[in-house]
Chain A
Amino acid sequence: MNRFRALTLVVVFGFIPAIAHPGWSQTSRTEHAPADNSAGAHSYAKNCAICHGDQREGILPGFPPLLDVNRKFTHEQIESLIRTGKGRMPNFAKLPQEEVAELMRFLSTSDIAVGGANGAGNISDAGRPLFQRNCAFCHGRDAAGGETGPDLTRSKLLISDTNGSKFSEVVRNGRPEKKMPAFNFSNEEVHSLLLFVRNQGKSSRPGGRRGVDVSDLQTGNVEAGKRYFSGPGGCVKCHSATGDLAGVANRFQGLQLEQQMLYPNNAKSTVAVTLPDGRSLAGELAYRDEFTIGLRGADGVYHSWPVSRIRYTVDSPVDGHVELFGKYSDDDIHNLMAYMQTLH
């Protein structure tokens, strides 16, 4: 999007009769049709978009955004600006009065209000190509999940994230532990993505990737699950239904509970390190590769050593879950899931 803006800017600044320049045909490939089909939107696309952007986002620093322009200027001021122009902005004195009225109506729409009311707005449409380019492969074109990435329309984080701050944080920082990259988007771009995702639940494509409902995960037998828990599964070696797992069905439901049951994704390992001088340290395993061990002590301080200079032992109770993968039948999993769902 930024590159597109920059390209447009070069074309506009470099060649005033931009429309006549062949370079324009290149950018036109990335242009959008007006988001709504009103006469005002068409007038905007024809007269204003070249400087103020397809989505009224502006082309900074030369041309201001027109989103929320009705908060900055009165109706009369806007009309006067259109009719007489100002500074670099040409006048549109010859526009028919009806067209100016339609254009004014279009400029007074708030994108957020349009997105919320109709399920499809201009900013949300700006988010579409951004989402398709950067997010769709993993999260699906309709944000309902794709290759490896989860269904965003059912994301608990998104549902509870009323002002978009958590969404923004995830987009900007990524989730390296889950292989999600970080994206260097502007505030407007993040906002457009959020609106795009929020609008997807309302217009789902048939047959796309869908999530899993709690009702899908009720095929197991509680008693058999309980037997597996204390018998062949060996779960009681580490867990207790009345101890660490008491109330687990309140903390997690459905697919999330099943995923936590099969492989808890925030399980901690500990490491005990013996230094060359004989001193010992123990703490949470904070980093491990072939060459370096990192430890976080009870005081929160991080230490690391080249593995060649120390002796160390790692305790990873979660490895027990990995060992079970090769032993489970699908029935074992469904039964165990039925039992877990009783632990309120």
Chain B
Amino acid sequence: MKAWKYSLVFASIALLRASSDPAMAQNLEPAALAHPSSDSWPTYHGDYSGKRHSKLNQITPGNVGSLTLAWAFQTNQNAPIKSTPLLVDGILYFTVPDNIWAVDARSGHALWHYNKPTDEGLHIGHRGVAMYKGWLYYLTPDSHLISLNAKDGTIRWDVVVADVKKGYWTTMAPLVVRNHVIIGVSGDFDNLAGYLRSIDPETGGTQWQWDSTPPAGTPNSTTGGMTWMTGTYDPELNLLYWGTGNPTPVLNGKPRPGDNLYTCAIVALNPDTGKLTWAFSASPHDTHDWDAVETPILVDGDFHGKPHKMVMQASRNGYFFVLDRTNGKSLLTSTFGPVNWSLGVDKEGRPIPNPAKEPAPDGRLIAPDEGGMTNYRAPSFDPTTGLFIVDAHPSYSIYFAKAADGIYGWAGADYGLWGKGVIEAIDYQTGKLRWTHEVGDGGSGAGVLTTASGLTFTGDAHGSVLALATKDGRTLWHSGMGSPMVSSPIAYELDGRQFVMTSSGGVLFAWTLPQTERNAVAKH
């Protein structure tokens, strides 16, 4: 009897301890973001570097052929999943506009679903949430930042971060750096200034704001420079790296002479103050809607025989840049597909726009098209091979602008003519393509994930998920998912099993090796 009592007390204490043990709670200490564990994917890009390279090696070129479905999760929504899920403490958090799901990563069943329709703001896509301790941060189409309890999706606070009536909207996944929640905005249908803002994770108060461009109405000046994709962060240099969007009016450059700083740029900012350390113009005086918001990937390594801290971007305008990320100086500029709008590259490594290729009343043939050589789909950097792998879109289009189109918003028109999708492996030391893999007419919207075992996961234009050999681009495995992937894959390990997660339409897919295959691997 006594023994039974003691054991009950003991069990109660154990239970109490378990519930107060931080390891058992849905909790993400910001310090963990610098070194994410293999059973997590705690930020939009998986880590601060933006490489989207998984260290996991259970799934290999030798066994990927037997990859199989662990589970699928159906959102039953028309909106395709464009977000990257977060994985923290075994729970996935992902979004489509107006919706967030928390899903058990082991079984694929929903724990909670936030669903709040909004009428205003463009519902073109949503990239996902950020997490700080036990709180999620979600931007609504009508430009609110909402903090939710990760346990149940209940709202803690809701602050307005941009004015939807003026034409701003928000889609991006915030980035948490220590006690800063960094958010960016969209809105190039109007002549508006872009900005990046740091929000207090506890209160929702603004800590700082960095403006990409002067306020609307400043004479001879540009507006624009939206900050609609998640940037990267170097903890050692304590610098944020962020891409900015196109200037406005979009296709008419006449009212905004000069380089239009800081639009279409990669900028380095102090995350504590929002002060600019350096900026690099990827498209000076852009007139083709080519946001430079694609992931600024941080790589430490050799460049032409010397160690460097680099930042690399495959930009929407068709150029691939390697910069020294301590000072923004160019190490390499090359093209990764047909580009016909520049007069070459200046001594700072910036493309020189050709005035004859600005949109004109009778049309200009332009490569690439408005969607660009690449876009929000994420690239990946594979440290073993030194390959920067990007889903590219060689393409041609015609651009028009005339006085009657005015100087507000779009201010012109453009029409895509032709394009295709090509997965390209760029050697960052030379800018040359080591291999290419065609993925279909029109192009694919799939991002790229590489793994330490030498695999590249992506998708084709027809709806297949592909596993390629990173060294030469050969297809090792594929599976039809029903519609083309318009998100970027992730990988994680749970209970000793490696998963690769992809999406298609409104469905999330978790891929893994069959149980027997894994056992065979373990015995080797």
Contact = CB atoms under 8 A, between A and B. Distances in A.
B78 A210 contact: no
Interface string B450-482: 000000000011101010000000010010000
Nearest to B406: A207
Interface string A287-319: 001110000000000000000000000000000
Contacts of A167: none
Interface in B43-92: 78, 80
Contacts of B80: 181
B413 interface: yes
A325 B338 contact: yes
Interface string B406-442: 1111111101111000000000000000000011101
Interface size class of chain B, counting residues whose CB lies under 8 Å from the partner chain: 35 or more
8 nearest A-B pairs in the assembled complex, by CB-CB distance: A207-B408, A207-B406, A209-B410, A137-B124, A129-B119, A219-B362, A289-B462, A133-B123
Contacts of B117: 3-4, 7, 30
A245 to B, nearest CB: 19
Given A325-B367, A330-B364, A209 B440 contact: no
A136 interface: yes
B78 A183 contact: yes
A256 B460 CA distance: 29
Nearest to B505: A181
Contact of A290 (B120, B124, B361, B460): B460
Contacts of B356: 330
Contacts of A179: 442
A275 interface: no
Contacts of B340: 326
6 contacts: A137-B124, A207-B249, A208-B409, A209-B405, A259-B398, A262-B398
Interface string B367-408: 100110000000000000000000000001010101011111
Interface in B153-201: 189
Contact of A333 (B365, B404, B407): B365
Given A140-B189, A330-B365, A333-B363, A210 B464 contact: no
Contacts of B523: none
Contacts of A7: 117
Identify whether the interface residues of B are mostly helix, strand, loop, or mixed: loop
Interface size class of chain A, counting residues whose CB lies under 8 Å from the partner chain: 35 or more
Nearest to A219: B362
A148 to B, nearest CB: 6
B122 A132 contact: yes
B123 A134 contact: yes
A147 interface: yes
A189 interface: no
A322 B394 CA distance: 11
Contact of B409 (A26, A150, A182, A207): A207
A95 interface: no
A7 B118 CA distance: 12
Interface in A114-153: 129, 132-134, 136-137, 140-141, 145-148, 150-151
B120 A210 contact: no
Contacts of A177: 442
Residue in A132, A141, A212 with the greatest tally of chain B CB atoms within 10 Å: A212
A328 interface: yes
Given A137-B124, A181-B78, A325-B338, A148 B416 contact: yes
A181 B440 CA distance: 18
A137 B122 contact: yes
A81 B10 CA distance: 70
A146 B123 CA distance: 14
Interface in B113-145: 115-124, 141
Interface string A176-211: 010101111000000000000000000001111111
Contacts of A321: 418
B286 interface: no
